[in-house]
Amino acid sequence: MKKIMNMVNAINDALDIKLSEDERIIVYGEDVGVEGGVFRVTEGLQQKHGVERVFDSPLAESGIAGTAVGMAVAGLKPVIEMQFSGFANPAFNQVVSHVSRMRNRSRGKYTSGMVIRMPYGGGINALEHHSESLEAIWAHIPGLKVVIPSTPHDAKGLMIAALESEDPIWFMEPKRIYRAIKQEVETEKFSIPIGKAKVIQEGTDVTVVAYGAMIREVQKAAVLAKKEGISVEIIDLRTIYPIDRETIAQSIKKTGRIITVHEAIKTFGVGAEISALANEEAFLHLEAPPKRVAGFDVIVPLPKGEQHFMISPEKIFYEILRTVKY
């Protein structure tokens, strides 16, 4: 059976299904219980699964992540929420020093399998520290897997996979499209493998890799490109790390051109990794230099300056043209 869902509904559905079948799962964070989260992603879960399994925590991100380590080594499966990606920073020490390392440090005796979920990204006229895209920082930490869905369907499937993973999963939710995209999603349990990218549009002239809220922008750019007779292949990365080198390399070998699009700042970002991958895996197939369309290396501006920072379909189209005409 299928049901129309937005991303908020889809993640809620995944959590609901797993809470029902896995007693180890504990969902907590700031305002996730009674209120159901500031974006209502966990709405109704406390009523259904009880206050011992879904609850509000004190306002302390390091405490949330650190207690989750304790729960995980003792055999529970915590799903913790960082209210905004920009507020996850106090948890940095716990995540880098413990969450990501527990398996290695204990030589596999203990693990800190958990899901750390958070809304991220710009474009919603938010206050300071509410618009960052810090996936490259988290992807740089050995032991963490970083997942970013771009549709309700993917959000559900990836969340189920995250809840069934033995590793800690850093699950970033593009809040700009929390409610903007609705689609039919299966109501049954299904999962989408972590670590696999997906070719969501086949093309022959240029490969564009993106994820999260940028997928929609890339799709719009591809329409503009098509009018100019340019055929764009679009890859939705879905998982930032482990990165799916094979899918990307294969596509570059076919098109000979690669552009990465992300909202996160450019330098030392995911696009740099993909450009390196292109050189390492498909150097002789390249007909143009690998290109990045990314945020400037600045603090995300407040709403009145944000339009300068956000990546438009036209900007992507512009870089597609330059790459194809190189």
So which residues are the catalytic ones? 130
**Which of 3, 48, 129, 226 touches other proteins (CB under 8 A)?**
129
Segment interacting with other proteins (CB under 8 A) among 120-128, 176-184, 254-262, 276-284: 120-128
218: Cβ–Cβ under 8 A, 6 or more apart, which residues? 208, 210, 232, 234, 261, 313, 316
The encoded tokens of residue 205 equal 């002239």
Beta-bridge partner residues of 238: none
Q: Could you tell me the smallest distance in angstroms from the CB atom of residue 190 to other proteins?
A: 31
**Which of 87, 92, 110, 190 touches other proteins (CB under 8 A)?**
87
Number of chain positions touching other proteins (CB under 8 A): 41
The encoded tokens of residue 130 equal 């509410």
Q: Could you tell me the smallest distance in angstroms from the CB atom of residue 318 to other proteins?
A: 5
Q: Could you tell me the smallest distance in angstroms from the CB atom of residue 20 to other proteins?
A: 24
Query: Are 212 and 261 within 8 A, CB to CB?
Result: no
Interaction of residue 4 with other proteins, rule CB under 8 A:
no
Q: Could you tell me the smallest distance in angstroms from the CB atom of residue 98 to other proteins?
A: 15
**Which of 17, 26, 30, 120 touches other proteins (CB under 8 A)?**
30
**Which of 76, 90, 105, 180 touches other proteins (CB under 8 A)?**
90
DSSP letter string over 162-229? Answer: HHT-SS-EEEEEEGGGTTT--EEEESS-----TT--EEEE--SSEEEEE-TTHHHHHHHHHHHHHHTT
**Which x/- pattern, by CB under 8 A, does the window 271-310 give for other proteins?**
-------------------------xxxx-xxxxxx-xx-
**Which x/- pattern, by CB under 8 A, does the window 52-71 give for other proteins?**
----xxxxxxxx--------
Sign of torsion over alpha carbons 295, 298, 303, 306: negative
The encoded tokens of residue 191 equal 């999962």
3-state secondary structure (DSSP) of residue 262: strand
Query: Are 125 and 305 within 8 A, CB to CB?
Result: no
**56-74: b (≥16 Cβ within 10 Å) or e:** bbeeebeebbbbbbebbbe
Segment interacting with other proteins (CB under 8 A) among 101-109, 128-136, 144-152, 214-222: 128-136
Applying CB under 8 A, the residues found at the interface with other proteins are 30-31, 34-36, 38, 56-63, 86-87, 89-90, 125-130, 266-267, 296-299, 301-306, 308-309, 314-315, 318
